[in-house]
Amino acid sequence: MCDWDHVAEVGHGLGWQRKSTDDSGFGAVTFGTDGTTGSDGAIEHPTKTHDGQTGGTDGIHGYFDRRTESSKNQARIALGVVDQLTNAKR
């Protein structure tokens, strides 16, 4: 798994007024992407790349791949059930 998104960091550095999304003053709510077991017992796979989709090839899942903790959390956001986000930090 990637510890840091270097591409995003370049974008943060190019704009002197931009705040890092990791900065608590940014105001973002983060959610889990590292994989977990859902409330129904189903495995929600971890995201191990910054790619959007990989299809789970070789066990590597992207943020939008099916059955990942990330995609499940994105669905919860779209449905407006943010109280059900896994590993959320406000």
At 90 the pLDDT is 75
What would the pLDDT profile of 9-51 be if each residue is shown by its tens digit? 665 556 555 666 667 777 788 899 999 998 889 899 999 888 8
Structure confidence at residue 1 (pLDDT): 46
Which ranges of the chain does DSSP label H, i.e. alpha helix? Answer: 6-14, 69-79
How many residues make up the chain in this entry?
90
Q: Give the tokens for residue 7.
A: 């591409």
pLDDT digits (tens, 9 = 90+) for 53-64: 888 888 899 999
Output 5 or 45, whichever has higher pLDDT.
Answer: 45
Q: What is the mean pLDDT of residues 72-86?
A: 93
90 versus 20: the higher-pLDDT residue is: 90
Beta strands in 1-90 (DSSP E): 36-37, 43-44
